């Protein structure tokens, strides 16, 4: 995972957690308050309904007391008490009940004698009109069911209470809408009537006798309160049932909108903050990574410029890196010095095998450095050339002494062995990583310009410039040095041979520069560095260097 993405996640996750916890807490609080408000509303409506019922009941009792003092009703009831089968008396009582029904609007009216037996009744409603055929259940108070409809009855004595001849009961249809909230009326575990569609008795019985409870009806959460059952009669239970989800929905929609906007805002803020924070940290780190790539390509671990940013950790990282780079550079320089000393020791060891070639490697290195200065090689390449020239004949360690020190002309087989010394030298040095810059000189310093050299027969500028320079310097010193089988050539003769072989054995440009250096040697002292400075740069010299670079 990229750092910018991790920074965004670390910035946004705390916001998301806070928002999630806040949303859950507020949603729970909203639902809790919604239930409390619903229950409070039920209680308030219950009180209002109780007051209305109490007032209505008081008015009904007053009407019934007036009706109970009706002489015709009292007379008919007196006859029925004496003879329950007296049809004329029954008809007389029913006439009075019909008149009372028309006057008061009650749907059900019935009269019981002193023993509580129902002796006359009248039911009048829009469904079946006035009827006295089927008798309703004999009940003085509470709910009664008649022809599929509920009636709530109120009774009063007929006549004076002390001399009551019976009772008159009146009632109207039981209407759930009077309660102002959805309600369910149950009796003996079954739903008698309900204003809530889709609810089952099994779901409601989960509340038991609890005054208030929460129910799941279908996929919704409901709040149920048990209402007071005064005047309903034994066995009846009346419960309100209000949809908490629907009541809380507006607030929850508002919460969803608010928290969605907050989440988007938090995400935007987290994105801006994380982008700024990651950019401020990644910019120096990207520079550090780029510096590492360049160091990897160059093989050198250079120091970084000091960081002046505000991030303390980045500054400390760069300072630590610079200290490490400095330490590595010092170690590398020390190791390089060891390589150089070792190279010098190898050169001395090689020269010590043959007194006639003593100091040959040092002289070749000196001449090669003079040519390198004349062509203006960079300092780093000059140093590689210098050490490579010291080691150019290191492979002769693997050549037997009888061949190296032979006083006569070498045979073809002996010369073939001599021609192996560049490859032997390369194999000796290639096992040490620090000697890798010097391998081209050691391996290729006997390659000729026209491709007739050894060990690979390379030609022209396929041979590195350093190897071509050492080739000229090596030939000059070999010709002018005494050997067991001959004396050294004079400078004039050696220069003539180099000039003669320029373009065949030697790079013509390097040979020309060397010849110019030697022409400046008027004192005959071979101070090559002085001569290189005297010759100075030339157009030919710069072109040679540029092409080989």
Separation CA 120–CA 92 (nearest Å): 10
Residue 394, CB-side half-sphere exposure with 13 Å CA sphere? 27
pLDDT at 547: 32
Q: What sign does the dihedral 125-127-129-131 (CA atoms) show?
A: negative
pLDDT at 351: 65
* Strand, helix or coil for residue 457: coil
Q: Is residue 151 a contact partner of residue 16, using CB atoms and an 8 Å limit?
A: no
Separation CA 68–CA 158 (nearest Å): 4
| pLDDT tens-digit series, residues 157-176 | 887 755 567 888 888 888 77
Q: Is residue 474 a contact partner of residue 364, using CB atoms and an 8 Å limit?
A: yes
pLDDT at 114: 77
Angle of helix 360-374 versus helix 528-535 axis, rounded to 10: 10
* Beta-bridge mates of residue 515: none
Contacts for 57 with CB less than 8 Å, ≥ 6 apart: 154, 231
**The tokens 């508002």 sit on which residue?**
254
**The tokens 């009292």 sit on which residue?**
74
Query: How big, in percent rounded to 5, are the helix, strand and coil portions of the chain?
Result: 60, 15, 25
pLDDT at 163: 58
Separation CA 211–CA 244 (nearest Å): 17
**The tokens 């062995």 sit on which residue?**
417
pLDDT at 139: 67
- Domains of the chain listed by start with CATH number: 3-244 (3.30.450.20), 330-548 (1.10.3210.10)
Q: In whole angstroms, what separates CA 339 from the centre of its chain? A: 52
Taking alpha carbons only, the member of 353, 362, 436 closest to residue 396 is 353
Q: What is the pTM of this model?
A: 0.45
Per-residue pLDDT in tens (0 to 9) along the chain, 549 residues:
465 666 666 666 776 777 778 777 877 787 778 777 777 777 777 777 777 777 777 888 888 888 878 888 888 888 888 888 888 888 888 888 888 888 888 888 888 887 778 888 888 754 434 444 566 766 677 888 877 788 888 888 887 755 567 888 888 888 777 777 788 888 877 787 887 777 777 777 777 777 788 777 777 777 878 887 667 777 788 877 777 777 777 777 777 777 777 777 777 776 677 666 666 666 666 777 777 777 766 666 667 776 655 667 667 777 777 777 778 777 777 776 776 677 667 667 766 665 555 688 889 999 999 999 999 999 989 989 999 998 898 888 888 878 877 777 778 888 888 899 999 989 988 877 778 889 999 999 999 999 999 999 999 999 999 999 999 999 999 899 877 777 888 999 999 999 999 999 999 999 999 999 887 654 444 444 444 444 333 333 333 333 333
Q: What is the DSSP string of 61-90?
A: HHHHHHHHT-HHHHHHHHHHHH-TT-HHHH
The contacts found for 126-132 with CB under 8 angstroms, 24 or more apart, are 130/98, 130/101, 132/94
Q: Is residue 457 a contact partner of residue 474, using CB atoms and an 8 Å limit?
A: no
State the distance between the two ends of the chain, measured CA to CA, in whole angstroms. 43
pLDDT at 157: 86
| pLDDT tens-digit series, residues 297-349 | 666 666 777 665 566 766 777 777 777 777 877 777 777 677 667 766 766 77
Residue 369, CB-side half-sphere exposure with 13 Å CA sphere? 21
Q: Output DSSP code: residue 489.
A: P
Strand order through the sheet with 212-217: 190-194, 183-187, 236-243, 220-226, 212-217
* Phi, psi values for residue 380, rounded to 5°: -65, -40
Token output for 121: 């009744």
Q: In whole angstroms, what separates CA 417 from the centre of its chain? A: 68
Specify the DSSP element, H or E, that contains 232.
none
Token output for 22: 């806040």
Separation CA 244–CA 248 (nearest Å): 6
Q: What is the DSSP string of 339-378?
A: HHHHHHHHHHHHHHT-GGGTTHHHHHHHHHHHHHHHTT--
């Amino acid at each position: 995972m990229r750092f910018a993405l991790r920074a965004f996640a670390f910035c946004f996750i705390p916001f998301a957690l806070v928002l999630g916890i806040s949303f859950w807490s507020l949603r729970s609080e909203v639902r809790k308050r919604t239930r409390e408000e619903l229950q409070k509303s039920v209680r308030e409506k219950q009180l209002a309904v109780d007051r209305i019922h109490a007032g209505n009941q008081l008015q009904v009792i007053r009407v019934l007391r007036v009706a109970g003092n009706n002489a015709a009703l009292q007379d008919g009831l007196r006859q029925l008490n004496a003879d329950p089968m007296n049809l004329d008396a029954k008809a007389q009582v029913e006439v009075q009940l019909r008149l009372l029904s028309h006057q008061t609007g009650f749907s059900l009216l019935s009269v019981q004698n002193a023993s509580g037996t129902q002796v006359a009744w009248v039911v009048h409603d829009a469904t079946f009109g006035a009827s006295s055929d089927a008798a309703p259940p004999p009940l003085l108070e509470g709910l009664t069911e008649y022809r599929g409809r509920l009636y709530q009855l109120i009774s009063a004595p007929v006549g004076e209470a002390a001399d009551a001849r019976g009772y008159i009961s009146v009632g109207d249809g039981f209407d759930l809408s009077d309660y102002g909230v959805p309600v369910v009326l149950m009796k003996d575990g079954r739903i008698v009537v309900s204003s809530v569609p889709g609810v089952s008795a099994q779901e409601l019985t989960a509340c038991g006798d609890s005054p208030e409870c929460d129910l799941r009806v279908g996929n919704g959460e409901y709040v149920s309160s048990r209402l007071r059952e005064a005047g309903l009669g034994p066995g009846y239970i009346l419960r309100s049932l209000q949809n908490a989800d629907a009541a809380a929905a507006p607030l929850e929609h508002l919460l969803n909108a608010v928290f969605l906007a907050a989440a988007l805002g938090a995400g935007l803020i987290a994105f801006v903050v994380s982008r700024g924070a990651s950019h401020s940290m990644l910019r120096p780190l990207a520079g550090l990574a780029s510096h590492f790539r360049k160091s990897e390509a160059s093989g050198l671990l250079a120091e970084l410029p000091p960081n002046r940013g505000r991030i303390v950790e980045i500054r400390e990282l760069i300072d630590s890196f610079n200290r490490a780079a400095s330490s590595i550079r010092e170690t590398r320089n020390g190791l390089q010095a060891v390589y150089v000393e070792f190279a010098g020791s190898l050169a001395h060891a090689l020269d010590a095998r043959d007194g006639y070639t003593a100091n040959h490697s040092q002289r070749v290195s000196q001449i090669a450095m003079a040519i390198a200065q004349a062509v203006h090689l960079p300092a780093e390449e000059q140093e590689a050339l210098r050490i490579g020239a010291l080691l150019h004949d290191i492979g002769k360690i693997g050549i037997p002494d009888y061949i190296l020190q032979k006083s006569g002309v070498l045979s073809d087989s002996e010369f073939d062995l001599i021609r192996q010394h560049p490859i032997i030298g390369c194999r000796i040095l290639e096992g040490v990583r620090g000697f890798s810059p010097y391998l081209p000189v050691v391996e290729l310093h006997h390659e000729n310009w026209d491709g007739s050299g050894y060990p690979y027969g390379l030609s022209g500028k396929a041979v590195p410039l350093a190897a071509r320079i050492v080739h000229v310097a090596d030939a000059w010193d070999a010709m002018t040095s005494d050997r067991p089988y001959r004396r050294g050539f004079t400078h004039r003769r050696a220069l003539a041979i180099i000039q003669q072989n320029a373009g065949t054995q030697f790079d013509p440009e390097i040979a020309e520069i060397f010849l110019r250096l030697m022409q400046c040697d008027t004192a005959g002292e071979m101070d090559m560095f002085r001569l290189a400075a005297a010759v100075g740069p030339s157009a030919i010299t710069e072109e040679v260097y540029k092409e080989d670079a």
